[in-house]
C-alpha cells in the first residue's frame, strides 16, 4: 500500500512508489513536490560548438511557434535523458521535426529498456586469457563467456538475458552493474575460469594479471616472417617468431625461400602446418608470444648436424617484439645466447613500431523490441522494414551504429563514441540505452508514425526542462546529414 503523498512512476516495469524528495530504485526519476521528474539532464548535440562540452544558452524567442518546420541542422536531440516509451501505448518522448538542406526530417527519440542486451569486449593482447566458452565472472558471479579470439585480440561476450534474468537475483544484479560500468567507460575487473584476471575499460589498455598491456601483436608468427624477412636477409641465418597460434620459421617459410635463405637444419616442436608455419609449439600462456614458455629454446629440438654449422646466427622474437633473444651455435651445434647485434635491434624495434597500442574496446549490443518500436509507429514492423531499407538512420546517443542483417533491429555501438553517462538501468534488471531514429518526414508519415506528436526543434529547446548541450564526437558523422537512399532494383516501386 503506497503512502498518500507518494506517486507511482511508470517509466519501467518496476512501477516504484516514490515519496516527495526521494528517487526511484533506478535513481533516474524523483518525486519533486508531487511531480514525477527526470534527474539527469536531457542531452542535445550542437555541431557549431568548438569548446568541448561547453554549455550554450537556451534559445530565446519572443513569438509562439506558427506551425512551420524550423531549420536548425546544427542541433541534434539525442535520447540521453529523454525518458522511455514504457508501457507500449506511449509515443516516444520526443518526435522532433527539422529542415535539413531543404529536406523535412524527423528524429524519434527514446531511451530503450533492454533486457536482451550485452556487450562485446575486444581486448588487444596476445596473452592467454582463457579457453573459449569458459565463464567470465565479476564479483564471483557469471556474467558472460570467452568467445572466439580474433587477429591480435581476445574477445569476451558479456551479459545477455540469461545472465540478467535467467539466473539468481545476485547474478542478474551483478551482470547489470558490470554492463553499466563498461558502457559508462569505467574499469571493471573480470576473472575467467581457469584463466586470467583482466581489468578492462573502454579506450584504455587492458591489465592482464596485474600487468598493463602496451601493444597488440603485429600479426601471427608467419605474418611477421612475411613482413620482415627482407630486413633480416644477410644479418642473421635463422629467425623463429614465437606465437601461440602460428609460429614462423624464416628458412622454411615461403618468404625466406623467395629471398634465397638457405636451410639451417632447425627442428621445431609442435605440429607443422605448411612450410615455415607451426601450430601448438607450446601451451597458451602469458609469456613469449602468448605461450607459457619463458625459455624460447624449449620449443626447439636438436639441429640437424648434416645441415647446421657452428656459428649459425639465430634470432628468436615474439610477435610484439617484447621478448627477443639472439644465439649462435657452438661447435656442438648448441645455441649459446649472445648480445643482440645492433643490426638486429633495428628489426626488433621495427616489430614494436608496427604493433598498435593495446586497447579495450566495448561494444554495446541490443535488440529494439516492442514498446520501443511502438513508440515510433502504430505498426512496429514498418519501422523494422524502414531501417532495413536504409530509409531510417539509427543512432545511439548520436553515435553511428551497425545494424545486423536479418529480422528485427539488432544493433551494436562503440560506447567510446557516445557521450559520457549515456546509459542507465532499471532494477528488473535491465539496461537503459538511448536510441534515435531519423528519417524524412514523408517516410515517417508513410510508416504510420505518430504524426500528431511531431513538434519542432525550437519548442523542445525553449522548454523549462534541464538540458545539457555538448559538442558531437568529431569521429562521428553528423546524424542529421541528408543522404540518398540506395538505388532500388529495376522494376521496383520505390
Mark whether 190 and 233 lie in a shared domain.
no
My answer on whether 190 and 164 are in the same domain is: yes
On whether residue 479 sits in a domain, the answer given is no
Separation of alpha carbons 193 and 365, rounded Å: 24
| 148 belongs to a structural domain | yes
Inter-residue contact 44 to 434 (CB < 8 Å): no
| Residue at 486 is within a domain | no
393 plus 289 within the same structural domain: no
Classify residue 411: in a domain, yes or no: yes
Is 440 found in the same domain as 393? yes
Q: Is cis: bond before 263, omega within 30 of 0?
A: no
Residues 60 and 161 in one domain: no
**In a domain? residue 447:** yes
Per-residue buried b or exposed e for 50-69, using 16+ beta carbons within 10 Å of the residue's own CB: eeeeeebeeeeeeeeeeeeb
Q: Is 7 helix (H, G, I), strand (E, B) or coil?
A: strand
- The backbone torsions φ and ψ at residue 147, rounded to the nearest 5 degrees and listed phi first, read -115, -165
Domain region containing 143: 117-216
Asked whether residue 252 falls in the same domain as residue 210, the answer is no
49 and 84 part of one domain = yes
Judge whether 20 lies within some domain.
Answer: no
Task: Point out the domain boundary residue: 187, 216, 245.
Answer: 216
392 and 342 share one domain: no
Claim to verify: residue 336 and residue 304 sit in the same structural domain = yes
334 lies in the same domain as 382: no
Q: Which of 216, 246, 279 is the last residue of a domain?
A: 216
Q: Which of 325, 353, 381 is the last residue of a domain?
A: 353
From first to last of its 494 residues, the chain has per-residue pLDDT tens of 456 688 888 777 677 888 888 888 777 788 888 887 777 889 999 986 344 434 333 333 333 444 444 444 489 999 999 888 876 668 999 999 988 888 999 999 999 989 899 999 999 998 889 999 999 999 999 999 999 988 889 999 999 999 999 999 999 999 999 999 999 999 999 999 999 999 999 999 999 999 999 999 889 999 999 999 999 999 999 999 999 999 999 999 999 999 999 999 999 999 999 999 999 999 998 899 989 999 999 999 999 999 999 999 999 999 999 999 999 999 999 999 999 999 999 999 999 999 999 999 999 999 988 778 999 999 999 999 999 999 999 999 999 999 999 989 999 999 999 999 999 998 889 999 999 999 999 999 999 999 999 999 988 888 767 888 999 999 999 998 865 544 433 333 33
- The answer to whether position 454 is within a domain reads yes
Taking each helix axis from N to C end, the angle separating 221-232 and 342-353, rounded to the nearest 10 degrees, works out to 140
Q: Are residues 245 and 347 in the same domain?
A: yes
Same domain, 131 and 86: no
Q: What's the domain count of the chain?
A: 3
Please give the Cα distance from 137 to 486 (Å, whole number).
44
The 8 Å CB, 24+ separation contacts for 279-288 are 279/245, 279/246, 279/247, 281/242, 281/247, 282/242, 282/244, 284/128, 284/244, 285/127, 285/128, 285/244, 286/127, 286/128, 286/196, 286/208, 286/209, 286/211, 287/323, 288/242, 288/318, 288/323
Nearest to 26 by CA among 140, 111, 153: 111
Asked whether residue 265 is domain-assigned, the answer is yes
Amino acid at each position: 500500500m503506497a503512502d498518500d503523498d507518494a506517486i507511482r512512476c511508470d517509466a519501467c516495469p518496476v512501477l516504484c512508489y516514490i515519496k516527495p524528495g526521494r528517487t526511484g530504485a533506478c535513481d533516474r526519476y524523483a518525486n519533486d513536490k508531487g511531480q514525477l521528474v527526470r534527474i539527469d539532464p536531457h542531452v542535445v548535440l550542437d555541431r557549431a560548438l568548438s569548446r568541448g562540452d561547453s554549455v550554450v544558452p537556451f534559445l530565446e524567442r519572443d513569438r509562439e511557434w506558427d506551425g512551420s518546420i524550423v531549420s536548425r541542422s546544427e542541433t541534434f536531440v539525442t535520447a540521453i535523458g529523454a525518458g522511455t516509451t514504457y508501457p507500449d501505448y506511449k509515443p516516444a518522448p520526443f518526435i522532433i521535426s527539422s529542415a535539413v538542406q531543404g529536406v523535412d526530417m524527423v528524429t524519434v527519440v527514446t531511451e530503450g529498456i533492454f533486457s536482451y542486451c550485452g556487450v562485446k569486449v575486444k581486448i588487444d593482447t596476445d596473452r592467454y586469457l582463457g579457453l573459449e566458452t569458459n565463464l567470465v565472472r565479476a564479483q564471483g558471479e557469471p556474467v558472460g563467456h570467452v568467445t572466439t579470439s580474433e587477429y591480435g585480440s581476445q574477445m569476451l561476450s558479456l551479459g545477455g538475458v540469461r545472465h540478467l534474468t535467467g539466473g539468481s537475483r545476485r547474478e542478474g544484479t551483478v551482470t547489470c552493474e558490470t554492463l553499466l560500468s563498461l558502457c559508462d567507460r569505467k574499469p571493471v575487473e573480470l576473472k575467467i575460469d581457469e584463466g586470467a584476471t583482466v581489468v578492462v575499460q573502454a579506450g584504455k589498455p587492458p591489465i592482464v594479471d596485474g600487468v598493463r598491456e602496451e601493444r597488440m601483436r603485429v600479426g601471427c608468427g608467419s605474418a611477421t616472417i612475411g613482413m620482415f624477412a627482407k630486413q633480416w636477409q644477410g644479418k642473421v641465418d635463422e629467425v623463429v617468431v614465437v606465437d601461440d597460434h602460428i609460429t614462423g620459421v624464416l628458412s622454411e617459410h615461403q618468404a625466406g625461400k623467395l629471398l634465397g635463405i638457405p636451410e639451417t637444419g632447425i627442428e621445431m616442436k609442435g605440429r607443422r602446418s605448411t612450410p615455415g608455419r607451426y601450430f601448438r609449439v607450446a601451451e597458451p600462456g602469458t609469456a613469449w608470444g602468448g605461450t607459457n614458455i619463458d625459455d624460447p629454446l624449449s620449443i626447439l629440438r636438436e639441429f640437424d648436424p648434416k645441415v647446421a654449422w657452428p656459428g649459425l646466427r639465430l634470432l628468436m622474437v615474439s610477435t610484439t617484439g617484447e621478448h627477443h633473444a639472439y644465439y649462435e651455435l657452438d661447435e656442438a651445434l648448441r645455441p649459446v645466447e649472445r648480445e643482440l647485434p645492433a643490426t638486429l635491434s633495428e628489426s626488433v624495434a621495427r616489430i614494436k613500431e608496427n604493433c598498435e597500442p593495446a586497447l579495450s574496446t566495448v561494444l554495446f549490443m541490443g535488440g529494439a523490441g516492442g514498446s520501443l518500436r511502438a513508440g515510433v509507429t502504430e505498426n512496429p514492423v514498418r519501422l523494422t522494414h524502414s531501417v532495413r531499407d536504409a530509409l531510417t538512420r539509427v543512432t545511439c546517443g548520436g553515435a553511428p551504429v551497425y545494424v545486423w542483417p536479418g529480422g528485427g533491429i539488432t544493433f551494436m555501438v562503440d560506447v567510446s563514441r557516445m557521450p559520457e553517462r549515456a546509459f542507465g538501468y532499471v532494477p528488473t534488471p535491465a539496461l537503459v540505452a538511448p536510441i534515435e531514429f531519423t528519417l524524412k518526414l514523408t517516410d515517417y508519415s508513410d510508416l504510420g508514425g505518430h504524426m500528431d506528436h511531431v513538434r519542432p526543434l525550437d519548442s523542445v529547446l525553449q522548454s523549462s526542462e534541464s538540458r545539457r548541450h555538448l559538442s558531437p564526437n568529431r569521429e562521428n558523422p553528423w546524424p542529421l546529414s541528408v543522404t540518398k537512399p540506395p538505388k532500388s532494383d529495376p522494376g521496383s516501386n520505390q
